Structure 1
Amino acid sequence: MRELARMLASRLNLNSLTRHEAGPFCVDAVYRDLDLTVARQIERQPFSAVYAYEDGALESFRVAKSKGVTCLYDLPIGYWRAAQCLLAAEIERWPEWAATMPGFRDSEAKLARKDEELQLADQIYVASQFTRRTLEDYPGTLANVEVIPYGFPSVGPPRDYVDLQSRKLKLLFVGGLSQRKGIADVFAVADTLSDQVELTVVGRGDVQGCSALESALKRHHWIPSLPHDQVLQTMREHDVLLFPSLFEGFGLVITEAMSQGTPVITTDRTAGPDVMTAGEDGWIVSAGDTSALQQAVENILNDPDQLARFGENARQTAMKRPWAVYGQEMASSVKEMLKASDERREGTGGFRLDRGGCVE
């Protein structure tokens, strides 16, 4: 009911009800309510383990620990201390885009809850090597961190690649309109190469709260929202997806575009290095390097024949890792984790909590 109220309040623009951390129907309130509900169930019934996500695990894990129940933690995005460090530099680089990065609004209490959740976890799951590296900033001892990349959606049929002799290169950005996603870099490249490229942006953001964003969207084709199937179709209709994110737990748009035969230019702070081979089925540039992003686009303009090759390679890569593979790998890992926990309780084996350095 609380989640339904949150969705309704958002649709009706009742912002006071969904205000960050304070609103009775904000995301944090929904998560805390769910967490408390799960914690009460753990109190009443025997369980082997509890699997929970960041910001919704604390009370469940506290009760689970008191009952010897294994705590499995899913961290879907990088660790908050690393985010503050990396994105603070981004605010200095693009001060006019600072309004699009509200992550710095989290209270000390919320950040402390995040740290306690991590501390209580017996196993931590992340979807990219980058997310695992961010946990090196945790100021203490952590459980084992395992990387299991997400799967690709259903792969589309082979697509046609029209040459660029009589048209512009069609660039696409899909995601939240935030500089955490590198949107300012996307606009900078598209504006510089406007004679040779055309940009479509699909996503929502606080447009009126950022004059730089509002101005940039007027210069390009902006689609605030699309159903998922139409997002995939839009990807097929473009040559390249630009996703120069500065801080990403994974980046599902990467796998979505690749599944449709659309190659991706992304950064080393996404799952790009986990799911693609740079120079074969996509391109990876350094995060926060606008010139490197532009150079990658110019490389395509100078050699447009590679689009078809990279695009089909991306589609073939997507075929090898459907979502079922992710499910199988996760299930196998959880099974092994529970087996180790049983051995520990029976005294026939051991379970060791590694230091944060295990992320290496």
Structure 2
Amino acid sequence: MVRLIHPGVQHSLRLADQLFAEGLLKKLYTTLSFGKKSLAYSLFPAKLKSKLSNRVSGVVPDSLFKTYPLLEAKALWEYRSGGKSQDVYYKRNRRFQEKVIADFKESDHSPIIGFDTSSWLLADYAKAKSISFILDQSIADAVKKNRVYQQIQNQYPDWAEDLLQKRDLYLDVEKRELKLATKIVVASTFTKESLVEEGVDATKIVINPYGVDLEGFRPLDKPKKMKFIFLGTVNGRKGTPTLINAWKRAGLHEHAELHFVGPISTFVKNKLDCPGVTYLGRLNHEQIKKMLGTYHVLVFPSFFEGFGQVILEALAAGLYILATDRTAAPDIISGNLTAGQILEAGNEGEWASALVNCYNNISHINATISDRRALSGKFTWEAYGKRWADMIRSIDNNATEI
């Protein structure tokens, strides 16, 4: 059995659910998450339950949770008080690891699963105890990310404020995690290649793509007017400046709509002021499930990703995909012309042409919804969990309790 340790959310609860189903989850350490049947969660009003939906496990019992909610509350307060996100969450992650390690039993030698940016002390601990340490690397290499940020700044100098590069301290702890990991699990070929470029041993890396909630994300009735949607943090890394400029070049504002959904800074929000573009706010997962299927096309022009979960969610909802080769799109839709198109990051002309092409082929996009839905069905969370289970069981005798 394994100990799963993550101070935030991301896809960790999905992994926890699957490991529990496989009989492999010993303990889930986190800051603020709940079991769906927990007393605390049952007392929440419906509105709060919806807001916290991504922090709820469907199957893991309360007895397997170990939470540190005050750490999350303190980090949130510091961030909202003006703290820089890198500094705030580095401190949270360090203190989280210290508390988790202090709660470990000396006799427990079960493997540890940690996540990038929050596992360097766990990696040190595992090394000292000769315990298997599996690193879930959720995004491509941080050193390469800094170089990409510089490239974006060169192309879009007026977006420099939105592109904060990582300090050497934070790069060093991530390098330590990668070096000490027994295995490194990534979700896309792009992430693996970025790690190998920076000297990580390719034989340690396992590609395991995420799954999608096929029940929650479904095609819905679509309007006659074509609607494009961007989902995710609205910032420079996600390709927002490329998309805005491409939209202006495409000249579709009288015939189509482009909607943005996700967290956004005031700096970026001021740059979305152009015809045909609407910012809908930051919606929770349940809200997105209820509206995503009404759109025709997902636009995902990211310069740098680990996967891009929205690609699978959009496919499940029947949307056509426009995404870059710096996401999981090549792993999911490459060669499938009915599913979408893979475009070059930062190439405004190519993106403008793709937007126009979608508009001109709206009837074909509507006619092939079921094909995209079927493609998403190949990516289930159950299959994701089974691949994890097979890997854990293959890591010598440390994959079970000693």
Q: TM-score scaled by structure 1? A: 0.84
* Contact 2:317–2:373 (8 Å) recurs in 1: yes
- Residues in 1 aligned to 2:77 and 2:221: alpha-carbon distance in whole angstroms: 42
Query: Is 1:207–1:214's contact at 8 Å kept on the other side of the alignment?
Result: yes
Provide the C-alpha distance between the structure 1 equivalents of 2:298 and 2:178, rounded to a whole number of angstroms: 34
- Report the alpha carbon displacement of residue 157 of structure 1 after superposing the two structures with TM: 4.6
Q: Secondary structure at the match of 1:31?
A: helix
* 1:149-228 alignment runs, 5 A limit: 149-155=209-215, 156-161=217-222, 163=224, 167=225, 169-192=226-249, 193=251, 194-208=253-267, 210=268, 213-217=269-273, 219=275, 220-228=277-285
Tell me if 1:298 matches 2:356. yes
Residue 354 of structure 1: aligned partner = none
Please give the alpha-carbon distance, in whole angstroms, between the structure 2 residues aligned to 1:121 and 1:246.
27
- Per the alignment, in what secondary structure is the counterpart of residue 247 of structure 1? coil
Alpha-carbon shift at residue 289 of structure 1 (Å): 1.5
Alignment correspondent of 2:96? 34
Distance 1:64 1:144 in 2: 16
Indicate if the aligned counterparts of 2:109 and 2:129 stay in contact, CA closer than 8 A: no
Whole-angstrom distance in 2 between the partners of 1:31 and 1:328: 28
Amino acid at match of 1:5: K
1:62-211 matched pairs, under 5 angstroms: 62-102=124-164, 104=165, 106-139=166-199, 141=201, 144-155=204-215, 156-161=217-222, 163=224, 167=225, 169-192=226-249, 193=251, 194-208=253-267, 210=268
Residues 1:232 and 2:289 are matched in the alignment: yes
Q: Distance in 2 between matches of 1:21 and 1:181?
A: 18
Residue segments in structure 1 that go unaligned for 5+ positions in a row: 343-360
Q: What stretches of structure 2 of length at least 5 have no aligned partner? A: 1-69
Aligned residues: 326
In structure 2, distance between residues paired with 1:109 and 1:143: 27
Instruction: State the alpha-carbon separation in 1 of the partners of residues 74 and 146 from structure 2.
Output: 31
Structure-2 change in CA distance of 1:207 and 1:311 (3 Å): farther
Q: Indicate the SS of the match to 1:179.
A: coil
Shift of 1:225: 1.3
Distance in 1 (CA, whole Å) between partners of 2:368 and 2:342 is 13
What CA distance in whole angstroms lies between the structure 2 residues aligned with 1:327 and 1:298?
39
**Cα pair distance change 1:338/1:77, threshold 3 Å:** same
Q: State the AA in 2 paired with 1:303.
A: N
- 8 A Cα contact 2:211 2:380, kept in partner: yes
Amino acid at match of 1:115: K
CA contact (8 A) 1:42 1:60 kept: no
Counterpart for residue 19 of structure 1: 84
In structure 1, what is the Cα distance between the partners aligned to 2:212 and 2:350? 27
Q: 1:157 to 1:62 in 2, by over 3 A?
A: closer
Partner in structure 2 of residue 286 of structure 1: 344
Q: CA deviation at 1:271?
A: 0.9
C-alpha root-mean-square deviation of aligned residues, in Å?
2.2
In the other structure, the counterpart of 1:59 is 121
d(CA) in 2 for partners of 1:147, 1:140 = 14
TM score, norm. by length of structure 2: 0.75
* 2: CA distance, partners of 1:160 / 1:139: 48
Question: 1:52: how far off?
Answer: 0.4
Query: Do the aligned residues in 2 keep the contact of 1:119 with 1:142 (CA within 8 Å)?
Result: no
Distance 2:192 2:325 in 1: 13
Percent identical residues:
24
For 2:379, which of 321, 335, 338 is the aligned residue?
321
Q: Deviations over 1:59-114 (max 9, x none)?
A: 11112111110111111000011112222111111111222222x0x221111111
SS in 1 for 2:383: helix
Say whether the 8 Å CA contact 2:135–2:183 is kept in structure 1.
yes
Corresponding residue of 1:345: none
In the other structure, the counterpart of 1:333 is 391
CA 279–33 in structure 1, closer or farther in 2 if over 3 Å, else same:
same
Name the aligned partner's letter for residue 151 of structure 2: A
Answer with 64-73 or 151-160: which moved more.
Answer: 151-160
Secondary structure of the 2:192 match is: helix
